Amino acid sequence: MKSRIRPSGRYEGLIIGVLFLCAVVSVLTTAGIIITLLRETIGFFREVSILEFITETRWTPLFDPKHFGILPLITGTLMITAGAALVALPVGTATALYLSEYASDGVRRLLKPLLEVLAGIPTVVYGYFALTLVTPAIRSLFPETNIFNAAGAAIVVGIMIIPMVSSLSEDAMTAVPRSLREAAFALGATRREVSTGVVLPAALSGISASYILAVSRAIGETMIVTLAAGATPRLTLNPLESIQTMTAYIVQVSLGDTPFGSIEYRTLFAVGMGLFTLTFTLNIAGALITRRYREVYQ
Amino acid sequence: MSSTSNQVLGADGLNLWYGTHHVLKGITLGITRHRVTALIGPSGCGKSSFLRCFNRMNELIPESRVEGRIHFNGRDINDPEVDATEVRHRIGMVFQKPNPFPKSIFDNVAFGPRVNGYRGDLGELVETSLRRAALWDEVHDRLGQSALALSGGQQQRLCIARALAVEPEVLLMDEPCSALDPASTAKIEDLIGELKERYSIIIVTHNMQQAARVSDQTAFLLEGEIVEYGRTGGIFTRPEDPRTEDYITGRFG
Amino acid sequence: MKRRARREKDRIFKLFLVLALLAGVAALLLLLEEVLRKGLPWLDFRFLTSFPSRFPEQAGIKSALAGTLWLLGLTAMFAIPVGVGAAVYLQEFAGRNRPTAFLQLNISNLAGVPSIVYGILGLAVFVRALALGRSVLAGALTMSLLVLPIIIVAAQEAMRAVPGSLRDAAFALGATRWQAVRRVVLPAALPGILTGIILALSRAIGETAPLIMIGALTFVPFVPAGPLDAFTVLPIQIFNWTSRPREEFRLIAAAGIIVLLGVLLTMNAGAVWLRNRYQRRSES
């Protein structure tokens, strides 16, 4: 068979090489994040002991006397996350269940775009919402509430992650084979019994993956907490007080004029490292669970 | 079986694995030029996989492995120096379900010539191919329309025209009528009769009446092995192997 | 049997689901109502064409709007080719092996990295190491990395939805892998890829935190003239106005939000329009 010149096939190898490089960018991004965070974090821990970092209860790197205890930022972050989960997990799950088991096609066609709109709203807009609408409402119920408080921010972070919970959970629920539902209906089960007795358990791993990913998203959320939760790192569990999260602290530092290479500058990377580690672990867990349930039904 | 000018394609000790599954077990078979050869056998016997060996389509399936030789005009197409795309350009294929591209009728037929760097009158080639596939009269006034607007039978003839446009010597047909209604099937069967003037055709079919109607030679495959191979008339009237007789009389499969 | 009690339970359960659903929708409506009521009176031609100011009645979003458009254009320029290229590689060329699985896991994980972490990366790599400074180019590069996973995942999904039979047809006609991708798979997947791109770019122009990190300024009384100029964007302007205690600034923040949501809505409507157009063309 004679070999002919193939004008359009000549550069195949070159093209594949370029495409491969595109895919490598994503690896470089991850490597870049880890190296950047690690380098400055190591610099940070040359000056501050790890013991102080995790046991000290005050976080005041920006003024004297400096204290470097990350606990207040962690409790602040956890309070926001817990509050957001309290809002988003039940509402998101119920929404998913309604969309997958109850809604007619018409209703679904109307509601899903609305949820997509909710998911597409920029976080700074949610921050505005927390500050101008939700916090005043809380203050009218609890007058002692600070203008900046964990509760308002947490509720709005929760609203923000509802679409994430509902769409991922709904995916998991629609992946449940119809035959399972039909088997239950044929035994005389009502729609509620099918929903809670068949669909929810069968979709459980997918739903829990959606919870994990949504929680990770809440931990990393920045603008809502920067605008509405305050900038006072404080070891408290009172949601009506002003607090500070890890993300909000990072914003606070970068808004100021912190000199490059100073210890204040390095706190930014140390806190960033903590944030990255936390969300990274959750994301990997979520991805593994999602993959497992996909394997079950596909 | 040696390579003679009368033999266009031949398999020689052909083995095929998908992962650990041994699909084809040492097949040796010669395909005669300008004849229609039918591959029959129960589903899962390996007849479609065998067909895909002739244009190296199996190597697109991960974990597939081929051993043995496929001669095409005396040369082994599995030779590492042979370019798979060149093989596929000389040996065309039509699939079970019509699979036109979501493009215009013209662009569908012109696809092969374009990727192979054809430097001639594309319009003329498209017309010739459509005429040979007996589709020209139905579509000549709407070549710019999407191929997806055609009926199933027309789509399949378009896929045949598309395969003819690269000017192959051999046409592989993998159950080309299994997704079509009886009227469209009859048209394609007539077409096969005309096409063998110019092309050598290998057709996989699960429909024994079809094999008897369109083919000159028939090979009966069972569990990855050739049970019987010979003139179609002989196979269907006086099968030598009892398993062949069982199959064509409908006792299994 | 207690059939009535059972039916009652069913009704209450359904009511609970509907209420939960309405909570989300109500939040959306409340938000829109608040923003429109406060912001609309401030939204006029002068607001769109004025630079920021210490006086709310004179302040506008000219520089923020220009910065957002700069960011949008540059991000599209970087992120679209790299994102689609990576998706093509992963979906059509990469073997089904461990390195590919690792790449895939890496991408899905990157999609979940908090945006502010991308800001830290941008600050260290683009602003400092590559010495691009607090420029719109540094911002766009940071945003490109941030939206890359979105484009890759969407493009891969769109290509996965292209039937394998079309690839087989192309190969059987002697097409190389790249020819099959360029002439068959990519055109067929185009609507899905475009939708993903628009989604990604919407994300890019709505982000605030990473741009604060790389030092986009909050007070920019000029329009960037080149990619190395300092800049601000709509979300940062909104952030700045919202975080001021004076009530009037909150009002113009609302006006800015209306503009931002308007831009996003237009982009999404564009995505729907494109999708419909291509679907019609490939079906007719």
Percent of chain C surpassing pLDDT 90:
58
Angle, CA A253 vertex, CA A39 and CA A58 arms, to 5°: 90
Q: What is the pLDDT of residue C47?
A: 85
Say whether residue C31 is in contact with chain A using an 8 A CB cutoff.
Answer: yes
Q: Is A247 in Cβ contact with C260 (below 8 Å)? A: no
d(CA A192, CA A48): 56
- Is the CA virtual torsion B156, B162, B165, B167 positive or negative? negative
Average pLDDT over residues A56-61: 86
Contacts of B191 (CB under 8 A, 6+ apart): B133, B134, B157, B160
Quick check: bond before A177 cis, omega within 30? Answer: no
pLDDT single digits (tens) A117-137: 888 899 999 999 999 999 999
* Chain B residues in contact with A1 (beta carbon < 8 A): 72-73, 75, 77, 82-83, 86-87, 90
Number of domains in chain B: 1
pLDDT single digits (tens) A40-53: 999 999 998 888 88
pLDDT at A2 over 50: no
Where do we find the tokens 């592989």?
A: B172
ipTM confidence: 0.91
d(CA B231, CA B151): 34
Say whether residue B33 is in contact with chain A using an 8 A CB cutoff.
Answer: no
CATH 1.10.3720.10 fits C46-283, yes or no: yes
CATH superfamily of A55-297: MetI-like (1.10.3720.10)
CA neighbor of C201 nearest in space, from C77, C88, C109, C91: C77
Q: What is the pLDDT of residue C284?
A: 39
Percent of chain A surpassing pLDDT 90:
58
**Which of C95, C169, C179 is the closest to B99 by Cβ?**
C169
The DSSP call for residue C95 is -
Q: Is A3 in Cβ contact with B83 (below 8 Å)? A: yes
pLDDT at B2 over 70: no
Q: Which two tokens stand for residue C82?
A: 């790299």
Residue B120 near residue B159 (C-beta atoms within 8 A): no
pLDDT single digits (tens) B155-210: 999 999 999 999 999 999 999 998 889 999 999 999 999 999 999 999 999 888 89
Identify whether B163 is part of a domain. Answer: yes
d(CA B204, CA B195): 16
Q: Please report which confidence band the pLDDT of residue A67 belongs to, taking 50, 70 and 90 as the band edges.
A: confident
pLDDT at C65 over 80: yes
**Which of C95, C171, C173 is the closest to B163 by Cβ?**
C173
Chains that touch A (3 or more CB pairs under 8 A): B, C
Q: What is the pLDDT of residue A258?
A: 79
* Chain B residues in contact with C183 (beta carbon < 8 A): 111, 114-115
What pairing do the DSSP bridges indicate for beta strands B75-76 and B36-40? unpaired
**Which of B62, B88, B146 is the closest to C173 by Cβ?**
B88
Q: What is the pLDDT of residue A291?
A: 76
Q: What is the pLDDT of residue B148?
A: 93
Q: Is B86 in Cβ contact with A3 (below 8 Å)? A: yes
Q: What CATH number corresponds to the domain at position B14?
A: 3.40.50.300
What are the angstrom distances between the C-alpha of A224 and each of A104, A156, C119, C122?
Answer: 35, 7, 16, 21
Identify whether B228 is part of a domain. Answer: yes
Burial class (CB in 10 A: 0-12, 13-18, 19+), A266: buried
d(CA B196, CA A247): 73
Q: What is the pLDDT of residue B117?
A: 86
Q: What is the pLDDT of residue A62?
A: 83
Phi, psi of B229 (to 5 degrees): -145, 130
Q: Which of B51-55, B82-86, C271-275 has the weakest average pLDDT?
A: C271-275
The rounded radius of gyration (Å) of the Cα atoms in chain C is: 23
Q: Which two tokens stand for residue A136?
A: 């005043």
pLDDT single digits (tens) A231-254: 888 888 889 989 999 999 999 988
**Which of B72, B82, B117 is the closest to A8 by Cβ?**
B117
* Chain C residues in contact with B145 (beta carbon < 8 A): 284
pLDDT at C258 over 90: yes
Q: What is the pLDDT of residue A118?
A: 86
Distance between C79 CA and the closest CA of chain B, angstroms? 27
Q: What is the pLDDT of residue A3?
A: 39
* Chain B residues in contact with A12 (beta carbon < 8 A): none
CA neighbor of A296 nearest in space, from A165, A175, A168: A175
Residue A98 near residue C7 (C-beta atoms within 8 A): no
Q: Is C20 in Cβ contact with A98 (below 8 Å)? A: yes
Domain housing B107: 7-77+84-248
CA neighbor of C167 nearest in space, from B70, B16, B115, B22: B115
